[in-house]
A and B are shown apart, each in its own frame.
Chain A
Amino acid sequence: NAGVTQTPKFQVLKTGQSMTLQCAQDMNHNSMYWYRQDPGMGLRLIYYSASEGTTDKGEVPNGYNVSRLNKREFSLRLESAAPSQTSVYFCASSEGPGELFFGEGSRLTVL
């Protein structure tokens, strides 16, 4: 089992460009999440999807959109990237209230 797979692992964007981070899990989990990690700030929840067909805002949703494509896939889109969105992004999944299984992370730099 691959667990949670994120792509791409690294990306450099210019201010104003758009991109989508892809995430897929093979554990048949209902819930999926996107977090960002910045130095000294811990992990902050951007968006989550409690089940297929639903999405909701987390702590820091501004500047992002998400799509729960099916039970396996949950994508994060930056429509117009800003330098403040330079971060490491983690996708995670869980079966309800319990252990989060994280992907390896995607390092995004916005110039």
Chain B
Amino acid sequence: GENVEQHPSTLSVQEGDSAVIKCTYSDSASNYFPWYKQELGKRPQLIIDIRSNVGEKKDQRIAVTLNKTAKHFSLHITETQPEDSAVYFCAASWRSQGNLIFGKGTKLSVKP
């Protein structure tokens, strides 16, 4: 089955710096790669996603890159702010119905 590895597990940055979180996946048939943000005690919410026919996607301060050959994708957050502090999860699609297999998460702390 699909396996998604996510690194690092914790990340601490100064406000205004950039943060990068990396994920690798095992199933070459995966074609959908979303990123979710989960604040403490809340439900996960989608922040950005990318499909396999695209190499990069941006939404304001957030960008995701995908390298299908190497089976890895990354989340980039620029000009970090304290409200970016949360746990971020990457995921990759598994089977055809849209099931998502998640990485174990990265706890991002942005220090003012």
Contacts and interface: CB of A to CB of B under 8 A. Distances in A.
Interface of A: 31, 33, 35, 40-45, 48, 50, 56, 58-59, 90, 94, 96-100, 102-105
A100 to B, nearest CB: 6
A99 B97 contact: no
Interface in B79-112: 89, 91, 93-94, 96-105
A59 B32 contact: no
A29 to B, nearest CB: 10
Interface stretch (B13-21, B38-46, B56-64, B69-77): B38-46
A105 B44 CA distance: 10
B43 A98 contact: no
Given A43-B89, A100-B34, A102-B43, 10 more contacts: A31-B97, A33-B99, A42-B105, A43-B44, A44-B102, A96-B98, A97-B32, A97-B93, A100-B44, A104-B42
Given A97-B93, A98-B32, A102-B44, A45 B100 contact: yes
B99 A48 contact: yes
Given A43-B89, A99-B49, A105 B101 contact: no
A99 B93 CA distance: 11
9 contacts: A42-B104, A42-B105, A45-B100, A48-B97, A94-B98, A97-B93, A97-B97, A97-B98, A100-B36
Nearest to B9: A40
A40 B105 CA distance: 7
Contact of B43 (A45, A56, A58, A90): A90
A35 B38 CA distance: 14
A44 B97 CA distance: 16
Given A102-B43, A103-B43, A40 B97 contact: no
Contact of B99 (A42, A45, A99): A45
A5 to B, nearest CB: 12
